[in-house]
Amino acid sequence: MEAAEERVELELVCPACWSSLEATAGGGRRCASCGASYPRRAEVEVLLDDETWRATVAHAEHERETLRRYHVSRRESPLNILYYDGWVARMFRHVPEANRGPLVEIMCGEAEICRRLPQRFRSALALDLNPTMVEQAARDLEQAGETRVRLVCASATQIPLADQSAGVVMVQGGLHHVKPLLAQVVAEVGRILRPGGIFVASEPANDHWLTRRIRHWQYRRSRQQGTDPGEDGLTQHELDAALSAAGLRLDRYRRFGFIAFPFMGNTQLFPLLATCRWRALGRALIALDRVFEHIPLVRGMALTSLLTALKER
């Protein structure tokens, strides 16, 4: 019985009305209730209406070169890979061992979280609006032999899952890109989480003026950030307000990322680091960051935050 449970997939529903979807002859989906149609448009399932799909494709084309640089950095820079391995592992340490999902990664990009999915999770769904990134994630997971993760092109404002169907929802660096829609996205997280479920998010912090100055300098120099608004990140107050409105209780909020984050997480800013294979340097920078986390006067200037929120009922 346990082996069978390991293969259970989250069932996709119509993002317009949350009703069941039927397969169509062309490999697409159709809603059995409202009649919404989702034709086969990419290498992965696409659950977007026509207008959103057209806007998404246009935006992906506009950001094509930025996405190429992003992919190269995340796959070929040893220090960047080391940092993301540690970052995602840190996020998973906040999920209780007894919670085995199902896990949903929203705004997944190339699925940095699900590509590092611990063995204890029996199934996962990763979704993003950008079809190029979702298709790349699907290819990477297939090449790695990962069969527990399902990829879908969908919006985090209309997650195609039934109420209370997920045990864990995670997002890494996605919420600040949709700042005007933050309340709507977090409300969707609250809707799909079951009672006792946990939301784990890590976002650019915006709690200190110096943090904003450093980030503005970084983004002016970076060729990897694209043109999305809201790069200032999110404050603890903004996140807490959105969580409370969605019926989620902020359980923990921690700031981190001082030296290692800008140098290792954004290696395109420093060409020598982009190709550096000296992992000892990366481990030293990460260790230095951990020291800074425990210094009260420095902690508030962190570039990144990590929060956990609980759905209690």
Domain holding 101: CATH number? 3.40.50.150
Question: What is the model's pLDDT at position 74?
Answer: 82
The confidence band for 203, taking pLDDT boundaries of 50, 70 and 90, is very high
Question: What is the model's pLDDT at position 267?
Answer: 67
Residue 39 in any domain: the answer is: no
| Mean pLDDT (whole number) for 220-228 | 56
Residue 293 in any domain: the answer is: yes
Q: Are 160 and 183 in contact (CB under 8 A)?
A: no
Q: Are 262 and 217 in contact (CB under 8 A)?
A: no
Question: What is the model's pLDDT at position 168?
Answer: 98
Q: Is 61 exposed, middle or buried (0-12, 13-18, 19+ CB in 10 A)?
A: exposed
The C-alpha atoms of residue 64 and residue 61 are separated, in whole angstroms, by 5
Q: Does 167 score more than 80 pLDDT?
A: yes
pLDDT tens track for 87-109: 999 999 999 999 999 999 999 99
Q: Does 227 score more than 70 pLDDT?
A: no
Total tally of structural domains belonging to the chain: 1
Residue 45 in any domain: the answer is: no
Question: What is the model's pLDDT at position 76?
Answer: 82
Residue 59 in any domain: the answer is: no
Q: Mean pLDDT score of the chain, rounded to an integer?
A: 89
Question: What is the model's pLDDT at position 2?
Answer: 41
Residue 167 in any domain: the answer is: yes
The confidence band for 45, taking pLDDT boundaries of 50, 70 and 90, is very high
Residue 25 in any domain: the answer is: no
Residue 41 in any domain: the answer is: no
* Domain enclosing residue 217, as ranges: 2-11+65-310
Question: Among 86-95, 104-113, 146-155, 217-226, whose mean pLDDT is lowest?
Answer: 217-226
Q: Does 226 score more than 60 pLDDT?
A: no
| Mean pLDDT (whole number) for 243-257 | 96
The C-alpha atoms of residue 293 and residue 256 are separated, in whole angstroms, by 6
Residue 47 in any domain: the answer is: no
Question: Among 67-81, 86-100, 135-149, 210-224, whose mean pLDDT is lowest?
Answer: 210-224
